[in-house]
Amino acid sequence: MPVVFIEAPPGIRTDAKRKMVEKITSAIDEAYHIGNTLVFLHEYAPDNVAMGGRLQSENPKVAAEGQFDPQCDYNKPETKAMQPAQLHEDKFLRILWDEQSRIISIVWRPETSEMTDEEFKSELTLFAEQVEEMKAPRILVDVSNFCHKPDPDVGQWRLKNISTRYNAAGVQRFAFVFPKDSQMEPMANQPSEGEQFLTQAFDTHEQATAWLTA
Q: Which CATH number fits domain 1-75: 3.30.365.10, 3.30.429.10, 3.40.470.10, 1.10.8.640?
A: 3.30.429.10
pLDDT of residue 60: 62
pLDDT of residue 42: 85
Record: fold of 84-212: Transcription Regulator spoIIAA (3.30.750)
CATH 3.30.429.10 residue ranges for the chain: 1-75
CATH 3.30.750 residue ranges for the chain: 84-212
Which amino acid would we find at residue 175?
A: A
What is the C-alpha separation between 116 and 92, in angstroms, rounded? 11
pLDDT (tens place) for every residue of the chain, 214 residues total: 788 888 887 767 787 888 898 999 999 888 888 888 988 888 877 777 777 777 776 766 555 554 554 444 434 444 445 688 999 999 999 999 999 999 999 999 999 999 999 999 999 999 999 999 999 999 999 999 999 999 999 999 999 999 999 999 999 999 999 988 776 665 667 888 899 999 999 989 999 999 999 9
How many angstroms separate the most distant Cα atoms in the chain? 79
pLDDT of residue 12: 74
Cα-flanking dihedrals φ and ψ of residue 203, to 5°? Answer: -115, 10
What is the C-alpha separation between 131 and 127, in angstroms, rounded? 6
Please provide the DSSP assignment of the chain as one string.
--EEEEEE-S---HHHHHHHHHHHHHHHHHHH-----EEEEEE--GGG-EETTEEGGG-HHHHHTTTT-TT--TTSSSPPPPPPEEEEE-SSEEEEEETTTTEEEEEE-GGGGG--HHHHHHHHHHHHHHHHHHT-SEEEEE-TT------HHHHHHHIIIIIHHHHHHT--EEEEEPPTT----GGGGSPPTT--SEEEEESSHHHHHHHHT-
pLDDT of residue 186: 59
Cα-flanking dihedrals φ and ψ of residue 95, to 5°? Answer: -115, 125
pLDDT of residue 139: 98
pLDDT of residue 81: 53
